[in-house]
Amino acid sequence: MTNTKRAASAILSTLLGIAVVGAVGITLHSLSGDHRPNLVATKEADTITVDGKNYPKASLTMGVYADAEQAAADGYDFKASGNKKDYVQYGPSTHLVLPAHTYVTMTIHSYDGGEKLNNAYFGKIVGTVGGTANVDGVDVSSVAPDQVQHTFTIHGLPTTSQDPLFVNIPLQHVEEGDDGFLPTKDPGTNFKGHTVTFSFITGGKGEYVFNCEYPCGDGTYAKFGNAMSAYGYMSGKVTVA
């Protein structure tokens, strides 16, 4: 074999290797992409002053549903969000988009029962304005660890390129009666679950995640199976843009 042929073979093999590895990477990246629709916070016209600083306002509403029937009653078809399984899940999407440097008010309608948190810390409300959340019209700073159905917990990587954002909201569980879920105490809503409202202030642009800290999956992996192990059910992405 001549030196030219030897060099050509080496270059060709290297290029072929790069092409194969690149194709595998691009395919995997494409398959792992988040194709869920964005749930974008609605910007409001007015502003609010907190600790001497003025912030624009935005709001966002979502729900957490024990099954497809509850989701349908709230007008949410979970298959439209890209989820295929009838697991407990947040909706109408789990990719939230929030404006930066904004006073964001979130409302979560929650319909599920529950047992006990693994860690009582997540029964506390953390990261909201005033350190409270409003549950059916009542301001609370915590929920008893044995009365939580799920939590809505935002966190992210501590990097120098984005502001920290940590919010933990325990969602009061729904007492189950003989005829199903009891109605909320709030006469202003028609929901048979609880309505939780809370506000927090976003920093600069960044990518965060949220997940539930109540083990609400199936019996595998310490109840962290199915909905807790699959992306987009009790977990999702929070983009501050």
Partner 1 sequence: MSDHNDVHLEPTPGERFSKFLKRSDVRETLAWAAFYTAVFVVLGAYFYPKWMPTVMSTDMKAIERLMVVFTFISAPVCGFVMSIFTQTLRHRHKGDTPPPDGPAIRNNRLATSVFAGVSSLLCLTAIVYGLVELNSSAEAATKDAPNALVVEVTGNQWVWSFNYPSLGVESNMLNLPIDRPVIFRITSADVNHSFWPVQLGVKADANHLATTLAQTTPIKLGAIDVKCAELCGLYHAYMETSGEVMTVSDFNNWVTAQGGHSA
- Considering only residues 40, 186, 224, 239, which one is a binding residue for partner 1 as defined by CB under 8 A? 224
Q: What is the nearest approach in angstroms of partner 1 to the Cβ of residue 126?
A: 7
The piece of 71-79, 108-116, 187-195, 229-237 that touches partner 1 (CB under 8 A) is 229-237
Shortest CA distance to 71 belongs to which of 97, 90, 94?
A: 90
Between CA 149 and CA 182 the distance in angstroms is: 14
Q: Does 116 bind partner 1 (CB under 8 A)?
A: no
Cβ contacts of residue 189 below 8 Å, gap of 6+?
109, 195
Decide: is 129 part of the binding site for partner 1 (CB under 8 A). Answer: no
Asked if residue 32 binds partner 1 (CB under 8 A), the reply is no
Specify the 3-state DSSP secondary structure of 208.
Answer: strand
Q: Does 38 bind partner 1 (CB under 8 A)?
A: no
d(CA 225, CA 239): 26
Q: Which of 83, 103, 89 is nearest to 41 (CA)?
A: 103
Q: How far is the CB of 6 from partner 1 (least distance, A)?
A: 10
Question: Is the torsion defined by CA of 106, 182, 144, 119 positive or negative?
Answer: negative
Contact 162, 60 (CB under 8 A): no
By CB under 8 A, residue 156 contacts partner 1: yes
213, 216, 226, 240: which one contacts partner 1 (CB under 8 A)? 213
CB of 228 to partner 1, least distance (A): 7
Among 40, 68, 140, 209, binds partner 1 (CB under 8 A): 209
Shortest Cβ distance from residue 74 to partner 1 (Å)?
25
State the minimum distance, in angstroms, from the CB of residue 214 to partner 1: 10
Q: Count residues contacting partner 1 (CB under 8 A)? A: 27
**Omega into 92 within 30° of 0, i.e. cis?**
yes
Contacts 24+ apart (CB under 8 A), 6-13: none
Interaction between residue 205 and partner 1 (CB under 8 A): no
DSSP single-letter state for residue 101: T
Residues in touch with partner 1 (CB under 8 A)? 1, 118-119, 121-122, 124, 126, 153, 155-158, 164, 166, 168, 209, 211, 213, 215, 221-222, 224, 228-231, 235
